[in-house]
Structure 1
Amino acid sequence: MDQLDIEILRALQENGKQNTKEVASKIGLTVTPTYERIKRLEQKGVIKKYVAILDRKLVGKEIIAYCQITLHKHQKEMIEVFKKHMYFLDEVMECHHVSGNFDFLLKVAVDNMGSFQVFINEKLATVDGISTIHSSFVMDSNKNTTVYTL
């Protein structure tokens, strides 16, 4: 990646909906080479996908919780089974295998506390291999970004 690729990535992180002509004008290239660079970045997997970032409160996700999960045994098979289960739980926005005092950190988004209780009792707690679940709730967010510094 060179400086022009980095500028393209910065522009697309700022607004993934802008067209190639808009990106080209921001980075000082013509449309065709800008288009080719974007396609190459997509093909290499640097750009994984384009998404819309929603206002969670306007779509009814009032509760964000971070759940710290400890497994009974830290074995490869149990870890893989847990990861597969998390992939299919719609409430889980992020699932990270971490080091430290617990094994996984989950970011969970739900409508309200009743929804969270249902998620814990009827979905998460039914996954085999979980030893403990500790949850922390977001009270306020002063920074929430998806932009990587390049």
Structure 2
Amino acid sequence: MLDNTDLKILKLLKSNCKMQFRDIGEVVHLTGQAVSNRISRMEHFGVIKGYTVLLDEKMLNKSLTAYITIFMKTTNHEVFCEFLSNNESVLEANRISGEGCYMLKIQVNSQEDLNDFLDSVLKYGNYRVNISIGKIK
């Protein structure tokens, strides 16, 4: 379904989703309209699910990143997933295999906020915390 040109377009969009279609076209040797048509097709088929903005969380005073492994003590995962969806500190939540049930990535303002989050998690299960000391990629 995707050819090399589509893959090049996707790579350009991943690096800068605000890139103008004509600028993408110059790189992949198409007109801006042809690029627009290809992007629309990839959106229609679900290859492109959406666009996002990457924020510098430090500029927003969210300086502490933690990775939390959750060990559920209940089988009511729906309530836990709802809790995660409604919590703005949770950036990512993945159900995992191996040790633990879920892996969370959260960002908070302080150690106190982290402790508050962890206290709220105890209703659902136990946890193990790893705190990021620096982002590499």
Please confirm whether the aligned pair reaches a TM-score higher than 0.5, indicating the same fold: yes
Aligned to 1:45, the other structure's residue is in SS state: coil
Structure 2 residue 92 is the aligned partner of structure 1 residue 94:
yes
Question: For structure 2, which runs of at least 5 residues remain unmatched after alignment?
Answer: none
Structure 2 residue 127 is the aligned partner of structure 1 residue 133:
yes
Of 100, 121, 124, 1:124 maps to: 121
| Equivalent residues in 2 for 1:103-118, closer than 5 Å | 103-118=101-116
Q: Which residue of 2 aligns with 1:146?
A: none
User: What's the CA shift for 1:38?
Assistant: 0.4
Task: Give the paired residue count.
Answer: 136
User: What's the CA shift for 1:99?
Assistant: 0.4
Q: After superposition, what is the alpha-carbon deviation per residue over 1:104-143, rounded to whole angstroms, capped at 9, x for unaligned? A: 000000011111112222x3234xxx23111110011111
Aligned to 2:58, the other structure's residue is in SS state: coil
Q: Which residue of 2 aligns with 1:19?
A: 20
Task: Tell me how far apart the structure 1 counterparts of residues 86 and 133 of structure 2 sit (CA, whole Å).
Answer: 26
Task: Tell me how far apart the structure 2 counterparts of residues 81 and 45 of structure 1 sit (CA, whole Å).
Answer: 28
Aligned to 1:47, the other structure's residue is in SS state: coil
Task: Tell me how far apart the structure 1 counterparts of residues 112 and 73 of structure 2 sit (CA, whole Å).
Answer: 27
Q: Which residue of 2 aligns with 1:148?
A: none
TM-score for both structures, normalised by structure 2: 0.92
Of 68, 78, 85, 1:80 maps to: 78
Q: Which residue of 2 aligns with 1:70?
A: 71
Task: Tell me how far apart the structure 2 counterparts of residues 131 and 100 of structure 1 sit (CA, whole Å).
Answer: 16
Greater CA deviation, 44-53 or 108-117?
Answer: 44-53
Aligned to 2:61, the other structure's residue is in SS state: coil
TM-align CA RMSD: 1.3
Aligned to 1:118, the other structure's residue is in SS state: helix
Task: Tell me how far apart the structure 2 counterparts of residues 25 and 136 of structure 1 sit (CA, whole Å).
Answer: 44
